Amino acid sequence: MPAAGIVPGPGNGKEYPGNLTLYVTITCMVAAMGGLIFGYDIGISVCVFFRWGDVDGLVLKKFFPSVYEKQKADSSTNQYCKFDSQTLTMFTSSLYLAALASSLVASWVTRKLGRKLSMLFGGLLFCAGALINGFAQKVWMLIVGRIFLGFGIGFANQSVPLYLSEMAPYKYRGALNIGFQLSITIGILVANVLNYFFAKIKGGWGWRLSLGGAVVPALIITIGSLVLPETPNSMIERDQREEARIKLKRIRGVEDIEEEFNDLVAASEASRKVEHPWRNLLQRKYRPQLTMAILIPFFQQLTGINVIMFYAPVLFKTIGFGSDAALMSAVITGVVNVGSTLVSIYGVDKWGRRFLFLEGGTQMLFCQIVVAACIGAKFGIDGEPGHLPKWYAIVVVLFICIYVAGFAWSWGPLGWLVPSEIFPLEIRSAAQSINVSVNMIFTFIIAQVFLVMLCHLKFGLFIFFAFFVVVMTIFVYFFLPETKNIPIEEMVIVWKQHWFWSRFMTDVDYPANGAVEMGKGGNSTKYV
């Protein structure tokens, strides 16, 4: 059926020679660690103030006295509204606005100065943020620190996924790129566990270790970026052709890299003609890529995952768990998150992106409905739980875990992988910034409004996200072509063969000899 998109088989496109060399594997593992800073931050940001990190309320009292007073005075028993505080959510989410702004600057750095340099800036800025936060004396220091962290994340998230997709041999691109998401999930888990232990430090200064501890992942990516090689694509883009040829041989582990090399050169020549990548993105011929750069991160956030990542303990407490049980459940979801990402590393280049998207979407939908029903049945609309039987708590945690697993092998990793592999070189950097920006805007919005939504929509919150999961799953089914096993500079083939997107891919813009306005170099491609 045409709507199901295209599964390109061998013979449809090129098959560049190349192996999964030790060199490329290690390089990609190091680069993927760029995800740690993002993950660590997701893990600590809310927990230090909202969750178990501030057991005695000392941090709250020091930095946010009015919130502290309000919480103390609040004697209402309505569980849905217990944690609603705009000041703290604003503080948490300021980071995402900073990340958004810096990803736009990173677009220029990544294109003109290379992927490595953007990673280096990411590490350094994040490091500065971690230090300012760790030593914070006044609330403005916390805010400035968070803004620096955001700047760092903007640079890293803009450059790392591109770096990985360009480095990887196309047959293993999915698996190597998902190393980024794996690091995000490890960062979240480590932060949650550390935070729990630091909170037990007597004297209430453990939060300084949680926040300052972010220098560790920051140093990893900073040092990593200094030792990593630049991608051949970026070297060619910056006129270092011969070095790029040598590097490509080393990365692929074969001598016969001419075909791939020529295509990279051709892509770079096309890219050079483009003076205004941003304006260029608006051209009709990039409509499919632009649509994906906006909708994929939008949908990723509208799965509702960050409600669980940020607020799982709050949520578990809300539905009646004790503090320790809430913490335990959050750690369990963290472990499920890491484990299920491994499943997608295993499957993404075998089963394809579409399969994971469709399966993951269906799984998340089912769980959201069950969780909404469970919470609704117990709390009704007034938010009074009464006594919660143990089996009930287990069912809720179990379905939240199955939901997290569904996300962790679909929208989590693919939300970063797919955009990074579908943009042609000439718009790659700018389009990736849009991807990061949209992701950050919606992470911000959800972090900002979740507590208010929980207060007003009650269990309907899960239905709200379930609705979007239905929409995104239908969208993938009809509009997202399969991209597994397609070399990154040959990606135009998937749009040209797609029942809907092909109307934007005219032969004038994309000549059938396989080169995207590239002239030479692509004439052995067997496009339909």
Shortest Cβ 396–ligand BGC spacing (Å)? 19
Q: How far apart are CA 458 and CA 385, in angstroms?
A: 12
Give the nearest distance from C-beta 309 to ligand BGC in angstroms: 4
DSSP run (H or E) holding 358: helix 353-379
Q: In the bound complex, what is the minimum distance in angstroms from residue 382's beta carbon to ligand BGC? A: 31
**In the bound complex, what is the minimum distance in angstroms from residue 186's beta carbon to ligand BGC?**
10
Helix ranges restricted to H, 83-136: 86-112, 115-134
Tally of CB atoms within 10 A around 528: 8
Nearer to ligand BGC, 18 or 406 (CB): 406
325 vs 390, 477, 507, CA distance in Å? 11, 39, 60
Structure tokens given for 521: 């170099």
**By the criterion CB under 6 A, which residues form the site for ligand BGC?**
42, 181, 184-185, 188, 300, 305-306, 309, 337, 412, 415-416, 439, 443
Query: Using CA atoms, how far apart are residues 464 and 481, in angstroms rounded to an integer?
Result: 27
Q: CB 445 → ligand BGC: shortest distance, Å? A: 12
Q: Using the CB atoms, write b or e for 92-110: b if 16+ within 10 Å.
A: bbbbbbbbbebbbbbbebb
Least gap, CB of 44 to ligand BGC (angstroms): 13
CB of 442 to ligand BGC, least distance (A): 9
Cα separations in angstroms, 327 against 13, 324, 341: 50, 5, 22
Question: Cα angle vertex 178, ends 109, 471, to 5°?
Answer: 95
* Nearest residue (CB) to ligand BGC, 235 versus 305: 305
Rank residues 20 and 331 by Cβ distance to ligand BGC and give the closer one. 331
Q: Give the DSSP H or E segment for 262.
A: helix 258-272
Closer CB to ligand BGC, residue 165 or residue 300?
A: 300
CA 182 to chain centre: 10
Closer of 94 and 443 to ligand BGC (Cβ): 443
CA distance 5 to 23: 35
Q: How far is the CB of 42 from ligand BGC (least distance, A)?
A: 5
Please give the helix or strand (H or E) that residue 189 lies within, else none: helix 173-198
Closest CA to 378 of 320, 304, 323: 320
Q: Closer to ligand BGC by CB, 181 or 329: give it.
A: 181
Nearer to ligand BGC by Cβ, of 63 and 403: the residue is 403
And the tokens for 401? 């875990």
**What is the smallest separation between the CB atom of 185 and ligand BGC, expressed in angstroms?**
5
Of 363 and 439, CB closest to ligand BGC? 439
Nearer to ligand BGC, 64 or 450 (CB): 450
Nearer to ligand BGC, 43 or 169 (CB): 43
Residue 386, classed as helix, strand or coil, is: coil
* Phi and psi at residue 326, to the nearest 5°: -65, -45
Task: Please report the sign of the dihedral spanned by the C-alpha atoms of residue 20, residue 24, residue 30, residue 34.
Answer: negative
Shortest distance, CB of residue 429 to ligand BGC, whole angstroms?
A: 19
CA distances from 525 to 10, 18, 270, 515 (A): 12, 18, 17, 8
- Measured distance CA(233)–CA(34) in Å, rounded: 20
Nearest-approach distance from CB 360 to ligand BGC, in angstroms:
12
CA-CA distance, 29 to 499, in Å (whole number)? 37
Residue number with CB closer to ligand BGC (27 or 333): 333
